[in-house]
Structure formats: structure tokens, C-alpha cells
Amino acid sequence: MSRAPSPFYEFFAGGGMARLGLGDGWACAFANDFDPLKAAVYRDNFPEAADHLREGDVWKLSAADLPGRADLAWASSPCQDFSLAGARAGLAGGRSGAFFGFWRLIEALAAEGRPPRAIVIENVGGLLTSHGGRDFAALGQALAGQGYRFGALEIDAAAFVPQSRPRIFVVATRELVPQGLIGEGAFQTRAIKAAAAALPADLAARWIWWRLAQPAPRNTDLAAILEPDDVVAWHPPERTARWLALMAPLHRARLEATASRGERAVGAIFRRMRLEGGRKVQRAEVRFDGLAGCLRTPRGGSSRQVIVAVEAGRVRTRLLSSREAARLMGLPDSYRLPAATTAALHVAGDGVAVPVVRWLAQGLLEPLLRPAAVIAAE
């Protein structure tokens, strides 16, 4: 007998990448995002969402807007105030402060006797260290105050897709945790251990060391997700020369060494501000390790990445396409992107990698929320 899908709420839903990652065993009962562009993309890819997607400010929602009781509330709250590229305003920041708009809904649901059985909060690594760890402790205090135990994992999307994208996943639950989900795991990084060690004693007592297995080695690299050379627009030689001129000697030498081998190789170039001689200098940095750098929204951080191809001593560059960015997030080619490149990159760069969500759901969330007897029967 088939099991009914697990109901979940998706906050700060973006283009619905958490929904895609959770998969068919889950049923979205409610979704919310403030951004009209992302909400439009969400509706375009999930037409059935018309009856449960609420576009608008999370602060304007009430518990009455959330139907039933969810097994899971997923919140990929805005990360700019936690990001190393941002102002590090922490939970007091205007964007990441939206977390508390979400949290007041969880408190209201708990007051009505229907809190989500589990919560996942996804964010950048700065969540662990913002304001000397005080913001992470404040998050833990909020969770503990509503009866949740919690732990965190740091998962780099590079384990699944050819993109370097480490993210923190705080997983909290009110459920009895099966012993098989507790212990040493692949994603308990040094940063996670340091954050846990810094918690006050009352929160440390509510900490869970989540065990999540390491996936099989990734079998695709950056070259595998790129469009054919003849269907993309390459930069004219003078623009490529400008990119090369931005490279520090180390990166220029890396490029020249790769080109000297004569074999075709593709890599990614991204912009960075570096401190040199006491002043900030914009540099182009290149990598040929089969990975793209972390995708950003077009208006933030390193902005749009550049693809570099070397073959027979020739160097060519071009911009990463929106479809390639979507593939780096694990989105299928059937996923509908906005026609405008900047809009498409905004949706992709501000999302969560789909295969990471699937791995977390399969290895932790589903065993946590499904009775052992059901799992054994399957």
C-alpha cells in the first residue's frame, strides 16, 4: 500500500528548488515568497501551486494562512546579512531578519497545537559565526523555546553538482530521533563542531549530532553541463585579453600551464576583490578543477561567472548561460526559466541545490518522520 505524501510548508520558496529536491513523496501545502519574479517562476513550474502559493511579505501572514499540520517547514531565509560578501548585520539585518517573520508563524502554530514536526533552515556559512556566534545561539534559543532539538550540517553542493556551494542546514525536530540518525557523519565539518562547542550549556543539551552518509563520488564536471561551443556567443579577442589582464601572476600561470598541455580544458573565471599593497584590486581568478565557483545573483558577490576554454594554445572566454547556471543547481532542462538572462540567473543563483535537498530528505528527513515499520515494509 502506498504511503500518503508528507505535507510541508516552503518559506522563502524562490523558484521551488527545495520542493523539487524533496520529490514526489512530499506534498506542498503552503509556499511563500516576497519576490514577484520568483513567485512567477514558481507558478510557471508548479501550476498546481496557484491554490497554495502566497506572494508577499512573510510578516503579513498569519497561522490561519497555513493549512493543517506540516511534517516539515523548510526555510531558505535570505542570506545576505550572514554572507561573507555582505555587511554581516546578522539577524538584526533587514533581509535575514525576515527569519523572525517566519518564526512568529511557527510560534503561532505551536500555540494552536500544530507545530511542524521538523524544521530545516538553510543558509550560508556566516550563519554560524555572525556576531561571534551569538546569532546562531539566538536561532538555537528560538528553536529550543518551542520544544525543538536541533543540529546542523554543512553540505557543499560540489558533492553532487560541479559547483562549489557550501551551505548550512539546521535540522530541528520535536520527534523521538532514531538512534541510526545520530552519530558521526560526513557533514559535521570543523565549522559545525566549533559552533556547537560555543553554544551555552542549555542549548548544548538540545544539540543533535545528525548522521548523514557521504554520497558516491560525483561523476560530472563543469565541461559536462556546458552548451556546445557552436551555440554560445564567445567574447571577441580584446575582451578575453581584458580578462587575462585582470589575473594575478599565479592565476595567469595556471592558465598558461593548462594551455601549454595542448588538450582541451574548460574552467571558470570569477571576479574577486583582493587586498594588494594596502589597496583593493579587482582580480579575475580561474579554476580548472572541474568546478564552477559559487553562483551568485547578478547583483551580488562575484556576479556572473565566465567560462574559459583552452585548446591548442588558444584561449576563449564567454559568459555562463542561464541554462548552464540552472544545471549547476541540479535543475532539469525541463525547468522553466525566465526569458531574460538576468532574471534567470537571479532565480538560479539565489536557490538551494536540488540534489542536496534530495540527499538530505532521503538520508535524514524521511527516516526521521516516517515510522520504522513503514520503512521496513518498503
Q: What is the pLDDT of residues 265-323, one digit of tens each?
A: 999 998 888 988 899 999 999 999 999 999 987 664 446 799 999 998 899 999 999 99
pTM above 0.75, yes or no: yes
Domain count, the chain: 2
Picking from 303, 320, 337, the residue at the C-terminal end of a domain is: 320
- Same domain, yes or no, for 100 and 144? yes
Residue 296 pLDDT:
84
Query: 169 and 261 in one domain?
Result: no
* Residue 79 pLDDT class (50, 70, 90 cuts): low
- What mean pLDDT do residues 87-97 have? 57
Domain annotation covers residue 338? no
Q: Report the side by side order of strands in the sheet with 149-156.
A: 53-55, 26-33, 6-11, 72-75, 118-123, 166-173, 149-156
Assess whether 145 and 287 both reside in one domain. Answer: no
Using DSSP's 3-state secondary structure scheme, residue 182 falls into strand
- What's the pLDDT score for residue 23? 96
CA-nearest of 214, 150, 159, 204 to 182 is 150
Give tens-digit pLDDT for 40-69: 999 999 999 988 999 999 999 999 999 999
Structural domain includes residue 173: yes
Give the pLDDT score at 91: 57
Task: Give yes or no: residues 274 and 366 share one domain.
Answer: no
> Are both 23 and 156 inside the same structural domain?
yes
Q: What is the pLDDT of residue 301?
A: 43
Query: Is the CB of residue 115 less than 8 Å from the CB of residue 106?
Result: yes
What is the reported pLDDT for 1? 46
User: 94 with 18, same domain?
Assistant: yes
184 and 304 in a single domain? The answer is no
Same domain, 187 and 271: no
> Does residue 68 form part of some domain?
yes
Domain boundary among 320, 335, 363: 320
- Is 83 a residue whose pLDDT tops 70? no
pLDDT category of residue 143 using cuts at 50, 70 and 90: very high
User: Residue 164's pLDDT band (boundaries 50, 70, 90)?
Assistant: very high
**One domain, residues 149 and 104:** yes
Residues 195 and 306 in one domain: no
Q: Has residue 3 got a pLDDT over 80?
A: no
Phi and psi, residue 149, nearest 5°: -95, 155
Within the chain, residue ranges assigned H as helices are 17-22, 36-45, 98-111, 126-129, 134-145, 190-197, 201-204, 222-225, 237-245, 249-260, 322-328, 341-349, 354-360, 366-369, 372-377
Shared domain for 282 and 200, answered yes or no, is no
Q: Which domain holds residue 268?
A: 228-320
The CATH number of the domain holding residue 96 is 3.40.50.150
SS3 of residue 131 by DSSP: helix
Residue 328 is assigned to a structural domain of this protein: no
Contacts of 343 (CB under 8 A, 6+ apart): 37
**Do the domain assignments include residue 221?**
no
pLDDT above 90 covers what percent of the chain?
81
Whether residue 360 is contained in a domain is answered as yes
End of a domain among 279, 302, 320? Answer: 320
- pLDDT, the chain, mean: 91
Q: What percentage of the chain has pLDDT greater than the value 70?
A: 91
Indicate whether 329 belongs to any domain.
no
Do residues 139 and 40 both lie within one domain?
yes
Would the pLDDT of 115 be above 80?
Answer: yes
Q: Does pLDDT of 343 surpass 70? A: yes
The answer to whether residue 326 is domain-embedded is: no
Task: Give the Cα separation of 356 and 97 in Å (integer).
Answer: 25
